[in-house]
Amino acid sequence: MSPTSSNVAERIQKAADIIRQAERGVVLTGAGISTPSGIPDFRSAGSGLWARYLPMEVASLNAFRHHPERFFEWLRPLASHMLSAEPNAAHRSLARLEEAGHLKTIITQNIDMLHQRAGSSHVLEVHGTFETLSCLGCYQQIENTQEILTPFMEKGLIPRCPSCEEILKPDVVLFGEQLPAHTWKEAKKAIGKCDLLLVIGSSLTVTPVADLPTRAIRKGVNLIILNKMKTHLDKLANVVIHRDVAEVLPKITQGVLYA
C-alpha cells in the first residue's frame, strides 16, 4: 500500500526538522539523483544499463585491459548523456543546504559531476570521475578536454595519450579496481563525524559504499532515505520516502530553510 499524500507531507516535514537540527550532515548519493537529469541508472528493470550489458564483460578492469573497444562502445552513449545533462532540482537543493550550513559533505557514487555543476563544493567521488583520464603507458593524467572528447563522441575513436599513443582510461572505478584511496578515507572520516546521513537515489547494493550507512547507524546517527525503490535499510531509517527525489528534496529544503 503506497503512502497517502498526507503521510508523505508528514515525512517531508519530519525530514526537514531533522536536517535543520543537524550540525554535521552528510549526504550519500547514487544514480537515482541523476535519472531526472536524463542519465540512465544501472539496475532499474528494463531501462537500467545492466539490463542491456553484462558488467564484467564491458566495465571490469580485466575487460578493459583485454577488450577496451567494448568498454568505449558501452561508455559512448552514457558519456553523451552525462555531457548533455544539467543538474536537476535535487542537485540544486543539496547545494542550497550546503551553502546554508546544514550539510558538510556529499559522498557520491556518480561520475557525472552534476553536484559540482549545481554548486556543491565539498564532493567526494568515491567511484572516480569522468573529468580526467590516465594513460596506461606513461601514467600521466590528462583532463577530459574537447580535443579528446570530440573524436570519441562524434566518431567513436578510442582516446589515446598525446605523448605515447597508449590508450587513455577514464578515471572511473571499474569492477575489480580499488576505490580511490584518499577519497575513500575522507568518506569514512565524514561518516565518522556526522550526526545525520541523508541517502538519496541509492539502492545501497554496491559495496563497499553501501556499508557506509551501516557505520552511521551503529553510532546512532539519524538516517533519512529518499529513493524510488525500497532498500534493505528502510526499517532502520528515521524517515523513508519512496518518491522522485527531484520532487521531494526541494520540498524538504523549503521546510529546512523557511521554517
Task: Output b/e per residue, 99-122; b: 16+ Cβ within 10 A.
Answer: eeebbbbbbbbbbbbbbbebebee
Do 160 and 167 contact (CB within 8 A), yes or no? Answer: yes
Quick check: is 127 catalytic?
A: yes
Which among 91, 127, 182, 242 is annotated as catalytic?
A: 127
CA 87/CA 114 separation, integer angstroms: 5
3-state secondary structure 212-250: HHHHHHHCCCEEEEECCCCCCCHHHCCEEECCCHHHHHH
Q: Measured between alpha carbons, how far is residue 252 from residues 3, 85, 146, 247 in Å?
A: 17, 24, 38, 9
**Rg (the chain; Cα; Å):** 19
Contacts of 206 (CB under 8 A, 6+ apart): 30, 109
Do 215 and 188 contact (CB within 8 A), yes or no? Answer: yes
Catalytic residues: 127
